[in-house]
A and B are shown apart, each in its own frame.
Chain A
Amino acid sequence: MLINHPLLGLRDAQEFVYKGDASLLQRPQCESDNALDAFTNYAYLRSNPAGLHQELWYHEQGDRSWLVVTRNTLTHEIVNVELASEVDA
């Protein structure tokens, strides 16, 4: 797979580390009343869709940026790539 890095262009997916669902960017508030449930869901539950999936890829062997990649899990087609720093968490 090639990932179209917003700054560096097409890069081999082997340069990246996969970190899973991009919902991990939305960290719950630790002060909230339901913090235990919220953190359990955040850390352990996944929607795991068959189809378009937003996920985190870390460019470890590159510029060390975090990307949010929108990829089809049925075909491995990548439809969108953004810098995680520019995605509204």
Chain B
Amino acid sequence: MDYSIFRVVKEALRNHKGWGPAWRNPQPKPSYDILIVGGGGHGLATAFYLASRYGLRNIGVLEKGWLGGGNVGRNTTIVRSNYMLPGNEPFYELSMKLWEGLEQELNYNAMVSQRGVLNLCHSDAQRDAFRRRGNAMLLQGADAELLNTDGVRELYPYLNFDDARFPILGGLLQRRGGTVRHDAVAWGYARAADRLGVDLIQNCEVLDFRIENGVVSGVETSRGFIGATKVGVAVAGSSSRLMSKVGIDLPIESHVLQAFVSEGLKPLIPGVITFGAGHFYISQSDKGGLVFGGDIDGYNSYASRGNLPVVEDVCEGAMGLMPMLGRARLLRSWGGIMDMSMDGSPFIDRTAIPGLFFNGGWCYGGFKATPASGLCFAHLLATGSSHEVAAQMRLDRFVRGAMIDEKGQGAQPNLH
């Protein structure tokens, strides 16, 4: 049944006794046409677009825990399309457009809030680089505005403008960027996919792939064998672990990224601000907590928790940008495991094994990519060829010298 204001009023008059579960909890069938491994944002979005845009049925999604229990529920909820390179920007701009129509498409309130993402600059060189990036964004149909100090001051008068080391000289503003309620994205895609007949199977961990005559024929799971003609893997954070079962080494290192939230405060930060001198970004949730984060810890980790030096570094960034944050108390911090790729860009590609497809390597930018990742992965699974905006996100781009390296850091994952 559709969610609507009329439904809310009707249920209010009936003591809310008519609400049912948002999705079924089916037993796995013996086999599916397409199996998606990973019931996070990207996996659920893939299943939804396979059913809605490509008209496919008989699709299963396998999740080892509960839907949306991984990185889609652990990120800092920022969406933006402020990339520069031709291999990236059209993809992220498609994602931005899909975010804009997401709630109507899913009939689910994902709290999409286009409150603006502002990247601050602190030197002439950085402003030049932002101007170039802003122009690249405009050329790809995104929006971008270069602000001078006064423009930034109008939005955020309380920033530390006259810092001796890192004065704020301006910023690159994308007004269409913002935040989205991360859990609701997973739930919205799950409900919409389920309504189109996709089986969402939770507590079902994929332990291995079954390969027959060199072709994938299904997966071994904690709930037994499930057959499939095509298997799409979307398990960022565990990509290397799972793909190593079939002997595939990936251009990925796993790193831990921490995020933080303060106690609830009165409305203070209307948009998203990123500090250009360190790695620090901050926004305020609708509940009032300041949500912020910074760099990855910098060494391989599957521990889902970070160490204190990065906590200190993030808090230094906070104090450098907004000294008044020193009065706020930290409520929680947590960590998530990132697929850090060798050039900082993701992969949506087939593998050397026919029928086995891979989606991963999202570094710490996977959340904003969720809709486009799902659509492009669905395109690849349904048609066998890459979607035009994801055509460069290939696993073999390193041997071809066709890296998509926004920062130009080279094959050093902890610098991306």
Mark A residues whose CB is within 8 Å of B.
1, 13-14, 18, 20-21, 36-37, 40-41, 43-50, 53, 55, 71, 73-76
Residues on B with beta carbons closer than 8 Å to the beta carbon of A76 = 301, 303, 307
- Kindly identify which residue among A1, A20, A50, A74 contacts B307, using a CB–CB cutoff of 8 Å: A1
Give Cα distance in the complex from A23 to B261, angstroms.
Answer: 38
User: Which residues of B294-313 have CB atoms within 8 Å of chain A's CB atoms?
Assistant: 298-303, 307, 309
CB distance from A43 to the nearest CB of B (A): 5
B88 at the A/B interface (Cβ < 8 Å)? no
Residues of B within 8 A of A14 (CB): 309
What is the CB-to-nearest-CB distance from A34 to chain B, in angstroms, rounded to a whole number? Answer: 12
The 5 A-B residue pairs with the shortest CB-CB distance in the complex, in nearest-first order? A48-B240, A44-B398, A45-B249, A50-B302, A40-B399
Contacts of A46 in B (CB 8 A): 240, 249-253
Residues of B within 8 A of A (CB): 240-241, 244, 249-254, 298-303, 307, 309, 342, 398-399, 411-414
In the complex, the answer to whether A73 meets B302 with C-beta atoms within 8 Å is: yes
Q: How far is the CB of B183 from chain A (nearest CB, A)?
A: 26
Q: Once the chains bind, are B303 and A53 in contact (CB under 8 Å)?
A: no
**Complex Cα gap A46–B412 (Å):** 11
Cα distance, A1 to B301, chains bound together (Å): 13
Q: A20-B300, A55-B300, A73-B301 are in contact. Are A50 and B251 (CB under 8 A)?
A: no
Cross-interface CB contact of A44 among B302, B307, B342, cutoff 8 Å? B342
**CA gap between A36 and B401 in the complex, in Å:** 11
Least distance between B399 CB and chain A CB atoms (Å): 4
Inter-chain contact B399/A37, CB cutoff 8 Å: yes
* C-alpha spacing A37/B138, complex, angstroms: 38
- In angstroms, Cα B253 to Cα A21, docked, is 9
Report yes or no: B253 in contact with A48, Cβ–Cβ below 8 A.
Answer: yes
Known: A48-B254, A50-B241. 18 other contacts (CB 8 A): A13-B299, A13-B309, A18-B299, A20-B253, A20-B413, A37-B399, A43-B398, A43-B411, A46-B249, A46-B250, A47-B249, A48-B241, A48-B252, A49-B240, A50-B302, A71-B299, A73-B303, A74-B303
